[in-house]
C-alpha cells in the first residue's frame, strides 16, 4: 500500500474545486490516492485590495508547505503565480486550459453594450479596470475583491449595489456557475490576463518520481500558450498589478501548428492602449512572448506601466497581473 499523495490547497470554494478536480484526474490516470490538505494563506486572512497585497500572498503559504514537506504537491491558478522561478520547485503539469476569457455578470441579463452611461461595474484587476475605461462608455468602474460568491452577490444578491461585475469565466466554470454569465467578453475588447484559465501543478524538484507521475496531467498546447503569455509579462517586468494582458492561441497554420499571441498594455484610465500581436511556432513560445514584449516596450509600454497603477518596487517579486 502506498500512502496517499498530499495535495495542498487553499480553503476557498474555487481552490477546493480546482484541487478536487486535479486530484480526481490524477487518481483516474494513475490509480494513486490523493488527500487534500488545507493551507491557510495570508491572502485569505486579509481583506486589503489584491493590488496592495500582491497575489503572491496566495501562493507563498503553499510553497512554504511544499518546502516543509507537509504537502507533496499544489495546484495554483497559474495567473496568480509570480513570474520569478521558485527555487527547488517545478511546474510538473499544465493541465488542459479552461476558456481564458473574462465574463460579465450584469443585472437584468444585460450585455456590455447594453450597459448605460454611468453604470457601476465592479472588478478588482487593473487590467480589467483599464480595458473597461478604454471602451469609452462612461462606465463607473469600482474596485472589488473577495471570493467569487461575494462578488456575484454585489450584482445578484438582496443587497446588490453594482450593475455588473467582470470576472474570469474559468473561475465560474470550475464552480459550476456559468449560468449567471450574461456575456463572455470578446478578447478584442477584454484581453485576458496572462495564464488566465490555466492551472499549474507544482511539486519539489527533489521528488523525481512525483515529477514523472504528475506529467500525465500535462497538456502541451496549454503549456505553450501560457509560456508565451508569461514570457511577455516577465519581459515587461510588470509588477503584480500592472495592466498587462496576453492571450496565446494555438491553431493549424500553413506551416503546421502555430501560436498567435496578442498582448496589450493599457493605462489604468484607459487613455493609452497599446495592442500588438505576433505569430510563431509553439516550440518558440517563450521567444515569441519576449519579442512581443520588446515591441511593446519600443512603443512606450514602460511609460504606461510607470503611471500610477504600477506595483512599485516593494512588490516587484510578484509577477502576476491580478
Ligand X SMILES: NCc1[nH]cc(CCC(=O)O)c1CC(=O)O
Q: Which residues bind ligand X (CB under 6 A)?
A: 55, 77, 79-80, 167-168, 170-171, 196-197, 322
Cβ atoms of 225 and 279 within 8 Å: the answer is: no
The CA distances from residue 135 to 107, 270, 322, in Å, are 19, 8, 20
All three cell numbers of 118 = 454611468
Query: Toward ligand X, which CB reaches closer, 235 or 241?
Result: 241
Whole-number Å distance between alpha carbons of 74 and 196? 17
CB proximity list for 231: less than 8 A, separation 6 or greater: 285, 286, 287, 288, 289, 290, 293
The least distance separating ligand X from the CB of residue 21, rounded to whole angstroms, comes to 12
Active site residue 102: no
How many Cβ atoms sit within 10 Å of the Cβ of residue 258? 16
- CB 23 → ligand X: shortest distance, Å? 17
Return d(Cα 90, Cα 94) in angstroms, integer: 11
Which is closer to ligand X, CB of 170 or CB of 245?
170
Whole-number Å distance between alpha carbons of 301 and 267:
9
Q: Which is nearer to ligand X, 167 or 291 (CB)?
A: 167
Please say which residue, 192 or 270, places its beta carbon nearer to ligand X: 192
* Minimum distance from residue 114 beta carbon to ligand X (Å): 21
* Shortest spacing between CB 276 and ligand X, in angstroms: 23
Closest separation in Å from C-beta 14 to ligand X = 6
CB-wise, 22 or 168, nearer to ligand X? 168
Give the nearer residue to ligand X in terms of CB position, either 55 or 246: 55
Q: With H, G, I as helix, E, B as strand and everything else as coil, classify residue 35.
A: strand
Q: Which of 72, 80, 102, 207 is catalytic?
A: 80
Return phi, psi of residue 20, to 5°. Answer: -60, -40
- Closest approach of ligand X to the CB of residue 253, in Å: 27
Angle between helices 220-236 and 285-298 (to 10 degrees): 30
Question: What distances in angstroms separate CA 249 from CA 53, 173, 292, 295, one per listed residue?
Answer: 31, 20, 14, 19
Find the helix packing angle between 148-156 and 13-30, rounded to 10°: 130
Question: How many other C-beta atoms are found inside a 10 Å radius of the C-beta of residue 281?
Answer: 15
Catalytic residues: 80
Amino acid at each position: 500500500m502506498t500512502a496517499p499523495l498530499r495535495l495542498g490547497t487553499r480553503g476557498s470554494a474555487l481552490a477546493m474545486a480546482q484541487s478536487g478536480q486535479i486530484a480526481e484526474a490524477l487518481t483516474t490516470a494513475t490509480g494513486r490516492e490523493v488527500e487534500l490538505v488545507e493551507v491557510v494563506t495570508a491572502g485569505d486572512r486579509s481583506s486589503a485590495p489584491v493590488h496592495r497585497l500582491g497575489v503572491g500572498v496566495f501562493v507563498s503559504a503553499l510553497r512554504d508547505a511544499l518546502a516543509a514537506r507537509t504537502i507533496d504537491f499544489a495546484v495554483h491558478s497559474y495567473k496568480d503565480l509570480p513570474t520569478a522561478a521558485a527555487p527547488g520547485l517545478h511546474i510538473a503539469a499544465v493541465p488542459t486550459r479552461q476558456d481564458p476569457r473574462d465574463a460579465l455578470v450584469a443585472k437584468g441579463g444585460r450585455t456590455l453594450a447594453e450597459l448605460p452611461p454611468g453604470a457601476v461595474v465592479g472588478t478588482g484587476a487593473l487590467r480589467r479596470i483599464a480595458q473597461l475605461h478604454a471602451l469609452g462608455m462612461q462606465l463607473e468602474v469600482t474596485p472589488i475583491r473577495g471570493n467569487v460568491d461575494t462578488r456575484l452577490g454585489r450584482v445578484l444578491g438582496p443587497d446588490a449595489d453594482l450593475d455588473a461585475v467582470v470576472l474570469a469565466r474559468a473561475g465560474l466554470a470550475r464552480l459550476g456557475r456559468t449560468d449567471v454569465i450574461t456575456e463572455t467578453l470578446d478578447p478584442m475588447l477584454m484581453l485576458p490576463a496572462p495564464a488566465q484559465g490555466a492551472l499549474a501543478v507544482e511539486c519539489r524538484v527533489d521528488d523525481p518520481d512525483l515529477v514523472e507521475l504528475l506529467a500525465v496531467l500535462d497538456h502541451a498546447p496549454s503549456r505553450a500558450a501560457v509560456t508565451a503569455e508569461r514570457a511577455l509579462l516577465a519581459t515587461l517586468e510588470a509588477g503584480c498589478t500592472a495592466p498587462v494582458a496576453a492571450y496565446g492561441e494555438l491553431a493549424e497554420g500553413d506551416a503546421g501548428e502555430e501560436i498567435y499571441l496578442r498582448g496589450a498594455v493599457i493605462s489604468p484610465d484607459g487613455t493609452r492602449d497599446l495592442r500588438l500581436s505576433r505569430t510563431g511556432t509553439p516550440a518558440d513560445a517563450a521567444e515569441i512572448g519576449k519579442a512581443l514584449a520588446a515591441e511593446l516596450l519600443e512603443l512606450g509600454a514602460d511609460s504606461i506601466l510607470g503611471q500610477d497603477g504600477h506595483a512599485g518596487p516593494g512588490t516587484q517579486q510578484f509577477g502576476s497581473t491580478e
